[in-house]
Amino acid sequence: MSETQTLTAPRAPMVYFIDDSATMREVIKIAFRKENLQVVACADAFSALEQFEDSPPDIVITDVIMPDRDGYEVCEFIKRHERFNRTPVILMSGVVNKSVAEKAMAVKADELIRKPFQPQELIARVKNLLNPKSSGAPRAAESGAAGRDSAQVLSGLFAANPALAAPRAPAPQASSGVFAPAAPRPTPQRPVVPPPAPAVSSVELQRLRAEVNRLELLVKKLRAELHASQEYCDALESQLKTMQETS
């Protein structure tokens, strides 16, 4: 399913906006209404791609997480297509970290924008990509410094530490003799006492505590971003209702 908003301006650039959120599609159409742009809002990648031949895109904006093909697949398809490979692609993601940025670069995305965002910010990026000569801002995907820190925390916390590995108990060796007694008497078995585990140095403890604290801060930050994203969506729905009532 797709919803097309056609403006009266001649030769208006064709902008495809792909997001499974109906609220986001309506907000973007309203925000782009005053711009000299033609917006095709699609709920999934399939409905967008099947329209490319008849209505070629000038720019594509797609969410990373989609119900059928994700945003990375859409971007990779466009960049490898003989006809559409020069079409700018903006990826939208609720989380922008090192992994997301690397995937965006791997599929040659032109922009990576963090959700939630202001519609005017998206419009500015679209205009910059459609008219790069008129804007001096370079194209660059967000690297996500917080994502790099979180990746280092996780890798450091779960990396194997030889100093903390429990030593293996030596295998008991059977005693060998030249002559075996005819009737050996049972000898009492002594309990095997494992050697004490090596003490963890204060430096290691401080390092682990620091990493745990950093990880807890990261979890709090992600929860705050999730809460902010929910509030943003609620505000968009309220704004949309207000616009619909006043129109």
Provide the CATH number for the domain around residue 90. Answer: 3.40.50.2300
- The answer to whether residue 144 scores a pLDDT higher than 60 is no
31: containing domain: 2-144
Q: Point out the least confidently predicted range of 90-99, 147-156, 230-239.
A: 147-156
Edge-first strand order for the sheet with 14-18 is: 2-5, 38-42, 14-18, 59-63, 89-93, 111-114
Question: Count of domains in the chain?
Answer: 1
Tell whether 67 is covered by a domain: yes
Average pLDDT score, the chain: 75
Model confidence at 19, in pLDDT bands (50, 70, 90)? very high
Tell whether 166 is covered by a domain: no
Tell whether 220 is covered by a domain: no
Model confidence at 18, in pLDDT bands (50, 70, 90)? very high
Tell whether 223 is covered by a domain: no
Could you write out the DSSP letters of every residue in 88-149?
Answer: -EEEEES---HHHHHHHHHTT-SEEEESS--HHHHHHHHHHHH-GGG--PPP-----HHHHH
Tell whether 239 is covered by a domain: no
- The answer to whether residue 75 scores a pLDDT higher than 50 is yes
Residue 15: helix, strand or coil by DSSP? Answer: strand
DSSP 164: G
- The answer to whether residue 109 scores a pLDDT higher than 90 is yes
Q: Point out the least confidently predicted range of 20-24, 133-137, 213-217, 227-231.
A: 133-137
Tell whether 179 is covered by a domain: no
Tell whether 156 is covered by a domain: no
Tell whether 68 is covered by a domain: yes
